[in-house]
Structure 1
Amino acid sequence: MEYDPQNPFARILRGELPSLRVYEDDFTVALMDIMPQADGHVLILTKEPVAEVFELSAEGAAACMRTARRVARAVKTALNPPGVMIVQLNGSAAGQTVPHVHFHVIPRHAGLDLKLHAAVAADMTQLREFAERIKAALSTDA
């Protein structure tokens, strides 16, 4: 998959599109997925302009994993799911739809199927509530 600098995640990183950010550091941004597969679904974006993880620098890859781990802990604390899934897709054959490296942190509950990927927009009031709860959990996990 080829990188497109006009992809929605690049535009979010440049401030051209709005987002509900829950965390940011020098290498990554974590934000609520506006078309979540489950309540509390968070995306971890690299700030590097690369489409697939194979192109990501070692430092960028380590930063993404650190952020994914930290956000997953916060999701577990804030929302108390019995499980948390961390997913990263490369190429359209793998299901990647946005040509920008990103990780999904998805709370999981037994017996609840995931919603279809990028199919239904979230209720923004509920999304803001989840974002605040996750940010609060992140603030206590330095």
Structure 2
Amino acid sequence: MMTQTVAYDDDNIFAKILAGSMPCHKIYEDEDTFAFMDIMPRSKGHCLVIPKSRARNILDVELDDLAKVMATVQKLSRAVLQAFDADGVSIQQANEAAGGQVVFHLHVHIIPRFDGIKMGPPASTMEEPDVLKENAEKIRQALAE
């Protein structure tokens, strides 16, 4: 494991979501990972996968935990493609502020893509809770199939 200069912050918003002290629109959970809707989606169905372990980003995550996150990313990507009849999917992950990371808990974005439609800008518009709830349900239904 690589040593980092900045410690993990137990008060980050994703740690609070994992602890149940901050609400989210949950899609999927297993022993090691958790997935939920991005509240400022860049595309319909944009969601996030995080490890349950304390990892600031890809620079300090244990390799086994990273592998489990990526397995969930693959599973959710397939479900998102099906749920939204998307033409593709963008997988994004940022590390440290200079790399574009805003929340300092490892997270991977799954962004459905549609031919001829550009992604929205990052962190620009908060989606309505009812839309997020509906989109989460579509993904959960696709996972169940």
Is TM > 0.5 for Structure 1 vs Structure 2?
yes
Alignment of 1:28-67 (within 5 A): 28-67=33-72
Mapped to 1, the partners of 2:127 and 2:114 lie a distance apart of: 18
- After superposition, the C-alpha distances for 1:44-85 in whole angstroms (9 at most, x for unaligned) are 011111111121112101100000000000001110110101
* Letter of the structure 1 residue corresponding to residue 40 of structure 2: M
TM-score using structure 1 length: 0.94
Alignment RMSD (CA, Å): 1.1
Match of 1:29, SS state, is strand
* Letter of the structure 1 residue corresponding to residue 12 of structure 2: N
User: 1:111 aligns to what?
Assistant: 116
Q: Which runs of 4+ in 1 moved over 3 A?
A: none
- Aligned match for 1:137, one of 124, 135, 142: 142
TM-score using structure 2 length: 0.92
User: 2:76 aligns to what?
Assistant: 71
Match of 1:40, SS state, is coil
CA drift at 1:2: 4.1
Identity rate, percent: 39
Mapped to 2, the partners of 1:139 and 1:89 lie a distance apart of: 30
- Aligned match for 2:132, one of 120, 127, 132: 127
CA drift at 1:111: 2.6
Gaps of 5+ in 1: none
